[in-house]
Amino acid sequence: MDFELDRDLLDVQERARELASAVAPIAAEVDSRSQLDGRIRDQLAESQLARLTVPAEFGGATAQVDPLAICIVREQLAGECNQLDALFALQGIGSYSITLAGSSEQRETWLPRVASLDAIAALAITEPHAGSDVRSMTSTAHTDVDEWTIQGDKAFISNVGVADFYATLVRERDHLSLFLVAADAPRLSFTASPELIAPHVLGDLTLAGVPITAANRIGEAGRGLEYVGATLSVFRASVGAAAVGVAQRALDIAVAHVRTRRQFGKPLAEQPAVGALLADSWAEIEMARLLVYQAAWLARGDPIGALARTSMAKFAATEIAGRVVDRCVQVMGRFGLIRNSPIERLYRQARPMRIYEGATEVLRGVVARALIKEAGLGL
């Protein structure tokens, strides 16, 4: 067993750290708005880290998208700038179905542009009435008529308004299929989603009879949910990695504060109760990091087979991040509550992570089912 990252991954980590430091001076300003900041896009493009989100054959950095490399980058970026982390991750999340099942034309047209950030990707699943229960979606591709169209509404979709294409999951007869909808498609319109506690580039899509052809379909008819599942199996652990980055940054800030802040004649750090909160946080961060790295490593070889592990890593790490930032705010007292201070931003940033890409309770169900199935098979 080797707990060291190899040279290539250490190099990726260092480049991600440098990128995070480069955006640090503008991070608070960027994360106070839900519009994409051009400087973030430019810095990410310049770093070439988005090349990790597509395979080498189409301008990517590694032969196949490497879940562990994605985790290592997100851990560094998320602790500094929410928008930077999201932009990086969504290049992969929005394009992976094309990597996996797209036609040669789709791959050649879009993947090199995703890698270089000339094009921004998005994945549109959620609808006003269909969140965790994806199968209840009502957006429909009408492909049994002469002119094919998509009709429906998508809500809370990352990168709406700035994306160049949307991998869009819709009902097609009795199954769900994925279609590639270009941002300039006729009868496709955008509205902003409500502003979140941690602003995010987010919006709603209205597909009012958007014209499509067979060339828009990603992979085979009726296999859309499978492609989305494959996407999540590669990227789910990386939400856990982003959560580790957020928690680590919060702990670093809290430690710096309690070492210098004096009450009752000594630094807060010397109050045993404060030390206990910090020790619990450190231990939980280390647990989360190991779990995330292990899950991502397993997903490298067999993403679908590792789904229980990546789901576990996602919910455990995001729940830990929630607890850690809360403790960090607590030990900083009133200074932890100042709006737009680094610690307050992390406190808000940690919260949505427990909901998107599989809410904790939904993922616990995935893990419990895998546990019971494994036990049953062992009998």
- Report the residue closest to ligand FAD, judged by CB: 131
Residues between 135 and 164 with contacts to ligand FAD, criterion CB under 6 A: 156-158
Minimum distance from residue 353 beta carbon to ligand FAD (Å): 8
Q: Which of 124, 141, 239, 307 binds ligand FAD (CB under 6 A)?
A: 124
Q: Which of 126, 139, 143, 248 binds ligand FAD (CB under 6 A)?
A: 126
* Pairing of β 165-172 and β 121-124: parallel
Beta strand ranges found along the chain (DSSP E):
121-124, 140-142, 149-158, 165-172, 175-182, 188-192, 202-211, 217-218, 262-263, 266-267
Q: Which of 70, 123, 218, 278 binds ligand FAD (CB under 6 A)?
A: 123
Q: Please identify, using beta-carbon distances, which residue of 112 and 352 lies nearer to ligand FAD.
A: 352
CA-derived radius of gyration, the chain: 21
Q: Which of 112, 131, 211, 267 binds ligand FAD (CB under 6 A)?
A: 131
Minimum distance from residue 365 beta carbon to ligand FAD (Å): 5
> What letter represents residue 333's amino acid?
G
Minimum distance from residue 266 beta carbon to ligand FAD (Å): 41
- Binding of ligand FAD by 125 (CB under 6 A): yes
Q: Please identify, using beta-carbon distances, which residue of 196 and 208 lies nearer to ligand FAD.
A: 196
Of 216, 123, 204, 120, the residue nearest 166 (C-alpha): 123
Separation CA 267–CA 32 (nearest Å):
32
Residues 309-348 as x/- pattern, contact with ligand FAD by CB under 6 A: ----------------------------------------
Separation CA 332–CA 348 (nearest Å):
16
Residues between 354 and 373 with contacts to ligand FAD, criterion CB under 6 A: 355-356, 359, 361-362, 365
Q: Which residues have CB under 8 Å from 104's CB, separation 6+?
A: none
Residues between 231 and 290 with contacts to ligand FAD, criterion CB under 6 A: none
Separation CA 173–CA 86 (nearest Å):
33
Minimum distance from residue 352 beta carbon to ligand FAD (Å): 4
In the block, tokens 């850690």 appear at 324
Minimum distance from residue 158 beta carbon to ligand FAD (Å): 3
Give backbone dihedrals phi and psi of 223, rounded to 5 degrees, phi first: -110, 15
Give the DSSP letter string of 307-371: HHHHHHHHHHHHHHHHHHHHHHHHHTGGGGG-TTSHHHHHHHHHHHHTTTTS-HHHHHHHHHHHH
Residues 177-216 as x/- pattern, contact with ligand FAD by CB under 6 A: -------------------x---x-x--------------
Minimum distance from residue 50 beta carbon to ligand FAD (Å): 16
Minimum distance from residue 9 beta carbon to ligand FAD (Å): 27
Q: Check if the beta carbon of residue 149 is closer than 8 Å to that of residue 209.
A: yes
Q: Please identify, using beta-carbon distances, which residue of 205 and 288 lies nearer to ligand FAD.
A: 205
Residue count of the chain, please give it.
Answer: 379
Separation CA 284–CA 320 (nearest Å):
6
Secondary structure element (H or E) that encloses residue 16, with its range: helix 7-30
Q: Which of 21, 32, 35, 132 binds ligand FAD (CB under 6 A)?
A: 132
Residues of this chain that interact with ligand FAD (CB under 6 A) are 123-126, 131-132, 156-158, 196, 200, 202, 352, 355-356, 359, 361-362, 365
